[in-house]
Amino acid sequence: MPPPGHLQKKYPGKTHLLKHAAEWGQLIIIRCNGCRRSATYLAADLVELLDPERPALWPPFPCPRCKTDEYIRVTLNSPYGEDYGRMLIRRPGPVRVTQTWRTVKLGDP
């Protein structure tokens, strides 16, 4: 997937990868400027779900409300000592399996 046109590198020639952010214990803050929704994730959690070789400043997924990543801004932050126990972050929850149904004619597989 090519990088979105509105995102530029902060330091030309250097690409900060998602695996580097996870190694350094950084937080990834995602904000949609379209609907003003934001969420904070641990980079280590996103490495397990996404490609570790992708740039850390790419939006990991589209906004659930706007259904696009056009207005998303991604920033990296290192947590401070007072952030522990106070900052709300999104962590992976349990995976749910949903049974789906389809309509077929009697006798079809």
Its domain, for residue 31, covers: 18-83
Instruction: Answer whether residue 94 is part of any domain.
Output: no
Instruction: Answer whether residue 23 is part of any domain.
Output: yes
For the entire predicted model, the pTM comes to 0.73
Q: Rounded to an integer, what distance in angstroms lies between the CA atom of residue 61 and that of residue 30?
A: 10
- Burial category of 62 from C-beta neighbours within 10 Å (exposed 0-12, middle 13-18, buried 19 and up): middle
Instruction: Answer whether residue 95 is part of any domain.
Output: no
pLDDT of residue 107: 85
Say how many domains are in the chain.
1
Instruction: Answer whether residue 28 is part of any domain.
Output: yes
Instruction: Answer whether residue 32 is part of any domain.
Output: yes
pLDDT of residue 26: 92
What does each of the 109 residues of the chain score in pLDDT, given as a tens digit?
A: 445 544 555 555 677 899 999 999 999 999 999 899 999 999 999 999 999 999 999 998 898 888 888 999 999 998 888 888 888 999 999 989 999 998 999 988 7
Determine contact, residues 76/57, Cβ cutoff 8 Å: yes
pLDDT of residue 44: 93
